[in-house]
Amino acid sequence: MTPEELDEIATIERETTHQFQHRVSVCVGTGCHSAHSEEVKTALEKEVSRQGLENWCQVKGVGCRGLCASGPMVEVDTAARLYQGVTPEDAVEIVETLDTGSVPRLECPTDLPFFTRQTKIVLEHAGRIDPERIEDYIVMGGYTALLKTLTEMTPAEVIEQITTSGLRGRGGGGYPTGLKWRTVAIAAGTQKYIICNGDEGDPGAFMDRSILESDPHRILEGMAIAAYAVGADEGYVYVRAEYPLAIKRLRAAIIQAERNGLLGKNIFGTPFSFHVEIRLGAGAFVCGEETALIASIEGRRGTPRPRPPYPAEFGLWGCPTLINNVETIANIVPIVRNGGAWFAEIGTENSKGTKVFALTGRVNHTGLIEVPMGITLREIVFDIGGGIPDGRKFKAVQTGGPSGGCIPEEYLDMTVDYASLAQVGSIMGSGGMIIMDETSNMVDVARYFMEFCMTESCGKCIPCRVGTVQMHELLCRIAAGQATPHDLELLEELCDLVKQTSLCGLGQSSPNPVLSTLRYFRNEYMDQLAAKPGE
Amino acid sequence: MTKVTLATVWLDGCSGCHMSFLDMDERLLDLMEHAELVYSPLVDLKTFPDMVDVTLVEGAVSSEEDLAKIRKVREHTRILVSLGDCAVTGNVPAMRNLFGVAAITERAYQENVDLHPQVPREVIPALLPHCCPVHEVVNVDVFVPGCPPAADTIFFIVSELVAGRRPDLSGLTRFGA
Amino acid sequence: MAPPTRVKTLKINNRDVGARQDETILEAAADVGITIPTLCQLDGLSNGGACRLCLVEVKGSSRLYPACVTRVEEGMEVLTNTERLTNYRRMILELLFAERNHICAVCVSNGHCELQTLAQDLGMTHVHFPYRHPHMVVDASHERFVIDHNRCVLCTRCVRVCDEVEGAHTWDVMGRGMDARVITDLSQPWGTSDTCTSCGKCVHVCPTGALFEKGKSVAEMLKKRQFLPYLKLMREERS
Ligand SMILES: Cc1cc2nc3c(=O)[nH]c(=O)nc-3n(C[C@H](O)[C@H](O)[C@H](O)COP(=O)(O)O)c2cc1C
Ligand code: SF4
Ligand code: SF4
Ligand code: FES
């Protein structure tokens, strides 16, 4: 592939698209896909051909538009009309009204705060391109960032841009990405690897899944840029096997990129070569932890090992390895394209850019959202999320999944950034956000997450393996109204032990949901004790 | 000077700890200069006194009767000592927890009996669903592991308690010792 | 020529200690006679930092560090036996005792067990968490050895010695969390294993009575470990 050829693909694609009068985009993203949007797409295609309109109207499958609970979503022409809850039976009407107007009964208002308050960087292509066609990606400027990197920038300059951008890891830890890249780049060794972590095991989270399913080439391009920057020539995408669609699209994307010379040997005629392979996770949450993930790729049992040494120095097959989350990687292309300084303009002092959240629970609009760092929780819950359904009262928002905490109403005006969330006893995490109303029982919430950690503990270290079981048992007792104040003391003692002594992040953070609910909703625990203190 | 009152109780255990207690031999006499044994399976008193200074418990809590007894003992004891592994950990009596009460009674009273196999419903107290160490049901002040703890250990513990001190057990005994 | 080894100076329990740069805190402490409790670690095998008993405090960090895998650093100030650490260690042992069925009184290793000794040394006189009493199996299908899962603490010494020293890799771990257990070959009866060479190394590195020789009764199983330092030394000389 030469730069000219890349340009040509874009031009041809642009011209083909212009031939059509209309364009009907059916969301085939995660949520809509499970609401059978493929059938809607087929019905629309049939209808278009039945009316002989193939050369006049184009039907496309596109990635997630976010408002997943209202799916299947269908967009007619760019941003002209948006339909929600579409069924195959609606196809006739949609096609018939293409020229004349709309189908009011299906209309979804596009001026909802849900759409207008978001800032799309990571998901900029989601809902706009067909994830299964490389041409769609290229016409949006795809692979030009890689071209720019390889032909105009030194690896050090790329890292410089990433560092300037202030990007921090989106996989949960929030480690500065530029710093990590530099560590791998200067690590001794000729063979280096890069791994994209798409294991995403947090209950309720589907940010990475959505990115992979909506815009797989974005990940490949980001990985190639990262590989060039740190001096790697082989990369792995680790995706959980529960994401067959993401795997399928990623696999297709790799083949397309290889065919077009955008992956493989001497990309754009430069000395840079880069190969990508997919590895499937077998469903263990702990395999998202970087050292366990590496063990899993190496074909060993996926259990964490103590760090240091960090993968940046001693990773896959003992070589320096860069491991980044899917969303982190998805930020690379726009940063290279627009410059680190541009990215650093978005967000807050210590948290730059945007964050994708999977908004779920007791909120009117559930789905996938991308918001700038520094937005308040209130804006997310009440503007974007449209508030709490059934006239109920907001109670808490849970972020960070099983490693995070519950944030009560008094902090609703707090900004969403790494430091603020940590300060109130939660974490940014990978992006799960669960809204709870007054009917939620906080002991149950804590018990739910503890059960998750207990069953997902790898069993290697004692505090996590046995401690989570004991904590879960105590939470069950409290929930069943059989616990004594002494049991509550035991629970707190165990929280401290497991947090301080566990080997990896899973164990270390497993007490967080308990600790944060104890911090803000202690009364609920007390109310459920069988005997009160002093009895 | 009034003597310290001492009691011993026997729950679900093999009586080995009591045997070890007796193994103090002539040292028992030294002890009794400062303490008085007011209740024990070894002496002939039927009711537990109003208040006892130190009570040694042998055995795990296995039956309704054990449970009632230990609760009562706790109420009437200043310093409660779990003596031996059964009291401290559940030990051998608790091994039945792996199988459940039904399977255990079946094995003991039906499978292994040739003549008139039947599960006793009277006299023998009903088993609790789980056999557990003493401190899972009442507060325990001093723990003396060992199966059984050696006479020397018991002598040291009791002497210290009788002298009004909390014994430092470190290095003296262990589980299974 | 091997690069010259550098010496690091540090403080362990306020004592000045000099150690080779490639030594762990555990080794550096042992050099000066300071013992740190360990369970999963065994000289001659790789270290996974799994049991967490050897955690120590390092001045200037709020984290705790596993001494068995943490390398010494210049100027480090290590504390190995603070009250906080002893409490954590005791609780970790309690969790182990509560996890499966360690009935010391009727164990082949009674009196020669590392777990039992650790409990005694750390002053763990009772378990203040509820016992779980899970139903665990005993596999006596091997001609000469028995694995009693009731007493396994999942230290993976058997797995490591079999893989790293014997080269058979008969043992591995299966299942997650509380369901984790050591298995032979593809989770089949030990006696049917094709890879087991019956060398007995696993039996002798096992810290508890989980692995033992047939015919041994209560308190009769003594573990002999002399072979490990010997093999380690021989391998070092070869390389
Ligand atoms: C138990 C556990 C599970 C994790 N799961 C994931 C995951 O699913 N995806 C992910 O990107 N990072 C996960 N992480 C974090 C990774 O270890 C690692 O920090 C991350 O992939 C680094 O990428 P980043 O710097 O881009 O965030 C997990 C960590 C722990 C402790
Ligand atoms: S903390 Fe839990 S998941 Fe992590 S190594 Fe220990 S047992 Fe495994
Ligand atoms: S069998 Fe013994 S050596 Fe193997 S993991 Fe269990 S306790 Fe450790
Ligand atoms: S001895 Fe260091 S973690 Fe087990």
The per-residue pLDDT for range C22-60, each reduced to its tens digit, is 999 999 999 999 999 999 999 999 999 999 999 999 999
Is residue B129 in a domain? yes
Q: Is the pLDDT assigned to residue B72 strictly greater than 70?
A: yes
Asked if pLDDT for residue A17 goes beyond 90, the answer is no
* Pocket of ligand 4 contains residue C79 by CB under 6 Å: no
Pick the CATH number of A354-437 from 3.10.20.600, 1.10.10.10, 3.30.1360.30, 1.10.357.10: 3.10.20.600
If you average pLDDT over residues C59-66, what whole number do you get? 96
Q: Which of A44-58, A335-349, C35-49, C56-70 has the lowest mean pLDDT?
A: A44-58
In this predicted structure, what is the pLDDT of residue C83? 97
Digit-coded pLDDT (tens) for B159-177: 999 999 999 887 889 999 8
Q: Are C149 and C175 in contact (CB under 8 A)?
A: no
Residue of B nearest to C111 (CA): B177
Task: Tell me if B170 is assigned to some domain.
Answer: no
State the average pLDDT over residues A29-49. 91
Domain count, chain B: 1
pLDDT at residue C1 tops 60: no
d(CA B3, CA B162): 9
Give the three-class secondary structure for C129.
coil
Pocket test of ligand 2: the residue of A305, A464, A501 to mutate, having most ligand atoms within 8 Å of its CB, is A464
CA dihedral A302→A305→A307→A312, nearest 10 degrees, is -40
Instruction: Give residues 62 to 121 of B whose Cβ lies within 8 Å of C.
Output: 82, 85, 88-92, 94-95, 97-99
Q: Closest chain A residue to C67 measured between Cα atoms?
A: A306
Chains contacting B (3 or more CB pairs within 8 Å): C
Q: What is the pTM of this model?
A: 0.94
Within a domain: B99: yes
- Topology annotation, domain A442-530: de novo design (two linked rop proteins) (1.20.1440)
The CA A470 to ligand 2 mean position distance, Å, reads 15
Q: Domain of B70? A: 4-162
| Ligand 4 binding pocket includes C70 (Cβ within 6 Å) | no
Residues with a CB atom less than 6 Å from ligand 3: C 152-158, 182, 205-208, 210-211
Q: Nearest residue on chain B to C115, judged by CA atoms? A: B175
C40 C-alpha to ligand 3 centroid (Å): 9
Whether residue C2 has pLDDT greater than 70:
no
User: Chain C: residue nearest B168 by CA?
Assistant: C123
Strand partners, B77: B52
CA distance B144 to B167: 10
Mutate to test the pocket of ligand 4, among C43, C47, C85 (most ligand atoms within 8 A of CB): C47
Rounded distance between C-alpha atoms, residue A161 and residue A155, angstroms: 10
pLDDT tens digits for range A184-196: 999 999 999 999 9
Nearest to A136 by CA among A13, A52, A236: A13
| Alpha-carbon gap, residue A197 to A184, rounded angstroms | 16
Q: Could you tell me if residue B175 is inside a domain?
A: no
C48 chain-A contacts, CB cut-off 8 A: 305-306, 460
Chain A residues within an 8 Å CB radius of C154: 459-460, 462, 465
Q: How confident is the model at residue A533 (pLDDT cuts 50, 70, 90)?
A: low
Same domain, yes or no: C63 and C115: no
Chain C residue nearest residue B91, CA to CA: C103
Q: What is the pLDDT of residues C144-189, one digit of tens each?
A: 999 999 999 999 999 999 999 999 999 999 999 999 999 999 999 9
- Other C-beta atoms closer than 10 Å to the C-beta of A423 total 11
Q: How far apart are the first and last CA of chain C?
A: 13
Residue B61 lies in a domain: yes
Work out the end-to-end distance of chain B between its first and last CA atoms, rounded to an integer number of angstroms.
36
Question: In this structure, what CATH number is given to the domain that contains residue C165?
Answer: 3.30.70.20
Q: Is the CB of A281 under 6 A from ligand 1?
A: no
Count of Cβ atoms closer than 10 Å to residue A324 Cβ: 26
CA distance A135 to A125: 13
E strands in B4-158: 4-10, 35-39, 52-58, 61-63, 77-83, 127-132, 142-144
Structure tokens at B88: 């401290």
What are the angstrom distances between the C-alpha of C63 and each of A377, A501, B59, B121? 31, 9, 42, 58
Distance A171 CA to ligand 1 centre (A): 4
What is the pLDDT averaged over residues B97-107?
93
Q: CATH no. for residue B18?
A: 3.40.50.700
Both tokens assigned to A37: 């949007």
Does the CB atom of residue A197 touch ligand 1 within 6 A? yes
Q: Which two tokens stand for residue A436?
A: 């709870």
Does C211 fall in a domain? Answer: yes
Main-chain phi, psi angles of A205, to 5 degrees: -95, 135
The pLDDT assigned to B118 comes to 86
Whether C217 and C114 map to the same domain: the answer is: yes
Query: Distance between CA B57 and CA B61 in Å, rounded?
Result: 10
What pLDDT sits at residue B115? 87
Question: How confident is residue A101, by pLDDT bands cut at 50, 70 and 90?
Answer: confident
Residue A134 and residue A361 in contact, taking contact as beta carbons nearer than 8 Å: no
Q: State the distance from the centre of ligand 2 to the C-alpha of C132, rounded, in angstroms.
A: 20
- Assign residue C58 the CATH number of its domain: 3.10.20.740
- What local confidence, expressed as pLDDT, does residue C237 receive? 74
Judged by a CB distance cut-off of 8 A, whether residue C218 touches chain A is no
Strand order of the β-sheet with C15-20 is C15-20, C7-12, C77-79, C55-58, C64-66
Residue A535 pLDDT more than 60?
no
- Please tell me the total count of domains within chain C: 2
Write the residue with the smallest CA distance to atom 1 of ligand 4.
Answer: C38
* 3-class DSSP string for B48-72: CCCCEEEEEEECEEEEHHHHHHHHH
Neighboring chain B residues of C103 at a CB cutoff of 8 Å: 89, 91-92, 94-95, 176
Look at strands A234-240 and A275-281 and give their pairing.
parallel
* Residue found by looking up tokens 């955690």 in the block: C55
What is the residue whose two structure tokens read 């396994």? Answer: C152
Residue B62 has pLDDT above 60, yes or no: yes
Q: Distance (Å, rounded) from C-alpha A412 to C-alpha A415? A: 8
Task: Tokens 């650490």: give the residue.
Answer: C85
Name the residue range of residue C28's domain.
7-81
- ipTM, two decimals, is 0.95
* Complete DSSP assignment for A380-398: IIIIIS---GGGPPEEEEE
C172 interface with A at CB cutoff 8 Å = yes
| Phi, psi at B44, each rounded to 5° | -100, 50
* Atom number in ligand 1 closest to CA A292: 17
Q: Which ligand is nearest to the CA of A208?
A: 1
Burial class (CB in 10 A: 0-12, 13-18, 19+), A57: buried
Output the CA A200–ligand 1 centroid distance in Å: 8
Alpha-carbon distance A202 to A240, whole Å?
12
Res. A127 pLDDT band, cuts 50 70 90:
confident
- Does residue B8 lie in a domain region? yes
Check B98 against C119: CB less than 8 A apart. no
Q: Compute the distance from residue C73 Cα to the ligand 2 centre, in Å.
A: 26
Computed over every residue of chain A, the mean pLDDT equals 94
Does B123 reside within a domain? yes
Q: Does B135 touch chain C (CB under 8 A)?
A: yes
DSSP state of A484: -
Query: How high is the pLDDT of residue A67?
Result: 83
Is there a domain that residue B177 lies in? no
pLDDT category of residue C3 using cuts at 50, 70 and 90: low
Domain assignment of residue C2, yes or no: no
What's the rounded mean pLDDT across residues C80-97?
98
Q: Whose CA is nearest to atom 3 of ligand 4?
A: C49
Intervals of CATH 1.20.1440.230 along chain A: 442-530
**pLDDT single digits (tens) A383-421:** 999 999 999 999 999 999 999 999 999 999 999 999 999
Q: What is the mean pLDDT of chain C?
A: 95
Examine the domain organization and report whether C55 and C113 are in the same domain: no
- Given a cut of 70, is residue A532 above it in pLDDT? no
pLDDT of residue A455: 97
The DSSP code sequence of A266-301 is SGGGSS--BEEEEEEE-S-GGGGSHHHHHHHHTTS-
Phi, psi of C71 (to 5 degrees): -75, 150
| Beta carbons of A459 and C66 less than 8 Å apart | no
Model confidence at C71: pLDDT above 80: yes
A422, A532 in Cβ contact below 8 A? no
Listed in order, the ranges of chain A carrying CATH 3.10.20.600 are 354-437
Q: How many helices (H) and strands (E) does chain A have?
A: 24, 13
Compute, in degrees rounded to 10, the torsion defined by CA atoms B52, B54, B56, B57.
50
Give the pLDDT band of residue A472 (cuts 50, 70, 90). very high
Residue A242: both structure tokens together: 């529960």
Q: At what angle do helices A442-456 and A512-528 cross, to 10 degrees?
A: 140
Measured between beta carbons, which residues in chain B are less than 8 angstroms from residue C106? 92
- Residue A460 Cα, gap to closest chain C Cα (Å): 6
Domain A141-343: assigned CATH number: 3.40.50.11540
Answer yes or no: is the C-beta of A290 below 6 A from any ligand 1 atom.
yes
Query: Length of chain A, please?
Result: 535
3-state secondary structure of C205: helix
Residue C13: inside a domain:
yes
Residue C54 is classified by DSSP as T
Q: What is the sign, positive or negative, of the torsion defined by CA atoms of A209, A214, A216, A221?
A: negative
Instruction: Report CA(C55)–ligand 4 centroid distance (Å).
Output: 7
Among A458, A460, A470, the residue with its CB nearest the CB of C95 is A470
Mean pLDDT of A236-240: 97
Whether C49 and C133 share a structural domain: no
Identify the architecture of domain A19-110 in CATH: 3-Layer(aba) Sandwich (3.40)
Choose, out of B17, B147, B174, the residue to mutate when testing the contact with C (most C CBs < 10 Å): B174
Atom of ligand 1 nearest to the CA of A168: 25
Residue C107 Cβ inside 6 Å of ligand 4? The answer reads no
Tokens of B111: 């499978």
